[in-house]
Structures are given as C-alpha cells and as structure tokens.
C-alpha cells in the first residue's frame, strides 16, 4: 500500500513539474473567471492561440451588470438604474518567459486589447451611460501559474476594458 501511495504522489508531482508555459505555437487555451471594475462584477471567457514563439492572439467575451439605487427627492421614491454591458474583444500578448529565463510553471505576459462594447443602460430617460463608448483600447499585464501541463490560474491587471482593474480566473490548455 505504501508503494502505491508513493507512486501516486510521484506521478502527481511529476505532472506538475513538466507544465509548459507560455502557450506553444499552434496551441490553444481557454480562460474564464471574474473581474473587478468600477461597477458590477464582470464575468469573462477567453481563448488564446499561439501564433509564434512568445506571441499569442486571443479573443474574449465579457458581461457585467449592476443595479444602483437612486433616490428622487421630488416624489420621495427610490428607483434603480439597471446597467449591463457585453464586451467582445481581441488581444495580443508577448510572453516574457524565455527572455527572463522563468520556470515553465509560470507565464508572464503583457499586451494590448481592442474591445467593442454593447451597453444597455436604463436610467429612466436621463441620457446615455457616461461610459457609453463603443470601442475601448486597453493595455494589460498578467501572469499564470500552472499546476499541471493543462490547468492553471491567471491574474491580469489592465485598463479601459470591460473588466477594468483586474481579472482572476482559471486557464485550460487544449
């Protein structure tokens, strides 16, 4: 029984030891998680594709919603602004692992993104949402830690995106 447990433990440790990051050319990975923003909690799903050594291109869908209370002093009623936005974007990233000689369990990257936003803002007739820009150009820096060769966690910081501020989630290599 001790030999079986020892073999199982060595197998799990060796799986994590051979994790490969960043994404190899011609490979795909999925990302999903939650973000932080000035309003609401964004949910995002993304896909990255290795186009060349140290370079990836990807796409992302995000959705967030928020309901803010508004008190009208004229009639003493409380109303709620219903805000939601869908973001459809593309990104490109450079991965610094090779030039920084980082261990293969880590993936450190930076890049830019372009996102088209579809806003739905119900403010009871007082005009459009102040952030109602249809296009957003953003910059991001992020990292991943891989527990195995196919599964890891990610953290990304950036601005001018539907998940402005930060996003945290999981990564699955296909």
Q: Which pLDDT belongs to residue 105?
A: 93
Q: Which pLDDT belongs to residue 65?
A: 83
Q: Which pLDDT belongs to residue 2?
A: 47
Q: How far apart are alpha carbons 46 and 39 in whole angstroms?
A: 21
Q: Which pLDDT belongs to residue 14?
A: 41
DSSP 42: -
Phi, psi of 164 (to 5 degrees): -45, 140
Number of domains within the chain: 1
Tokens of 73: 């002093």
Contact (CB, 8 A) for 42 and 166: no
Q: Which pLDDT belongs to residue 68?
A: 66
The whole model's pTM is what?
0.75
DSSP 129: -
Phi, psi of 77 (to 5 degrees): -105, 155
Please give the torsion angle defined by the CA atoms of residues 151, 154, 160 and 164, in that order, rounded to the nearest 10 degrees. Answer: 110
- Residue-wise pLDDT tens digits, 5-53: 444 444 444 443 444 567 888 999 999 999 887 767 889 999 999 999 9
Q: Which pLDDT belongs to residue 11?
A: 45
The segments of the chain whose pLDDT lies below 50 read 1-19, 124-128
Q: Which pLDDT belongs to residue 161?
A: 56
Contact (CB, 8 A) for 136 and 95: no
DSSP 24: P
Looking from the CA of 128 toward its CB, the CA atoms found within 13 Å total 8
Q: Which residues pair with 85 in a beta bridge?
A: 64, 119
Question: How far does the chain reach from its first CA to its final CA, in angstroms?
Answer: 34
The CATH number given to whatever domain includes residue 150 is: 2.40.160.20
Burial of 7 (0-12, 13-18, 19+ CB in 10 A): exposed
* Domain extent for 40: 2-173
């Amino acid at each position: 029984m001790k030999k079986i447990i020892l073999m199982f433990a060595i197998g799990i440790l060796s799986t994590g030891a051979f994790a490969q990051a960043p994404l190899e050319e011609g490979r795909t990975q999925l990302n999903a998680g939650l973000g932080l923003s000035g309003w609401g909690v964004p949910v995002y799903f993304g896909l990255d594709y290795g186009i060349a050594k140290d370079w990836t291109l990807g796409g992302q869908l995000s959705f967030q919603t928020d309901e803010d209370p508004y008190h009208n002093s004229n009639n003493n009623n409380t109303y709620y602004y219903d805000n939601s936005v869908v973001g459809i974007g593309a990104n490109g990233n450079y991965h610094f692992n090779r030039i920084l000689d980082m261990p293969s369990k880590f993936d450190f990257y930076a890049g830019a993104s372009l996102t088209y936003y579809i806003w739905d803002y119900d403010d009871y007739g007082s005009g459009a949402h102040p952030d109602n820009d249809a296009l957003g150009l953003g910059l991001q820096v992020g990292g991943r830690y891989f527990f195995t060769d196919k599964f890891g966690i990610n953290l990304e910081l950036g601005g001018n995106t539907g998940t402005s501020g930060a996003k945290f989630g999981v990564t699955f290599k296909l």
